[in-house]
A = this chain, B = another copy of it.
């Protein structure tokens, strides 16, 4: 467990009529600024500030940039480095700087603009789907990829076994990467569910992992944003322990991704791409 991910404190514990003081462990939340520049450019550009749990900031930045289509693979990144002073009791750096190859599709204005508007219908879900289409997500054509229902049902327990910070804080969202046979390859945790997903997809990208034959499980609900990130990473199957939103389902259906929700206790609902799930 990364010691920068937890924070010790004392609390007043109330249980029925009993009052006591106790030591408690909290999940750390600190701001992280992502800065980028093309290799050779003089200026760093601040792209976003997110509240995250420190640790794997390089992966978070890589995953974020992949999700927004700024980079498409490992070669688009020249370097990822922590920056800024060591701050707070935990001595963490809260800036991460990404040097992009000249090949990276990078338009700061485009990134900051409102992605959800079109001239035809204004701000709407349809425009949000069109914005993703414009980012040219990897085609999910890997028809050979299947996962058995019995394997699928085992994923939540395997995720929980792998969550080390949640175990002591109860305060983190998690995202985990699985093979079709249900082997857990990587787990990432964060106070923000989008950050946990960015860390996971960034980890895969930085390590050059093939994603077309993998499934991702998230510990909470599936939002539009989480489907977007999994889709841009090229993952054909996204499962969630909680419920999906309407726009998450619409996005998965539009791009042929398999989306399962309420995956727990040996059951789930499949909202899209059920062909990749096999009985047995």
Residues of A within 8 A of B (CB): 7, 9, 11-17, 19, 22, 24, 26-33, 46, 49, 51, 84-85, 87-88, 94-95, 114-117, 121-128, 149, 152, 169-171, 191-192, 221, 223-225, 242-249, 260, 262, 266-271, 274, 277, 279-280
Contact = CB atoms under 8 A, between A and B. Distances in A.
Given A17-B279, A31-B116, A94-B124, 5 more contacts: A26-B243, A26-B249, A49-B115, A51-B245, A170-B243
B268 A84 contact: no
Contact of A121 (B28, B49, B85): B85
A30 B169 CA distance: 32
Contacts of A280: 17
B33 A116 contact: yes
B277 A246 contact: no
Count the copies: 2
Contacts of A88: 121, 124-126
Nearest to A173: B221
Contacts of A262: 170
20 contacts: A7-B246, A9-B249, A11-B269, A12-B269, A16-B266, A22-B269, A28-B245, A29-B245, A30-B247, A31-B125, A31-B127, A51-B225, A51-B245, A84-B123, A87-B125, A94-B116, A95-B123, A170-B243, A171-B242, A191-B245
Interface centre among A149, A169, A171 (most CB of B within 10 A): A171
A95 to B, nearest CB: 6
A87 B30 CA distance: 38
Contact of A171 (B221, B225, B270, B277): B221
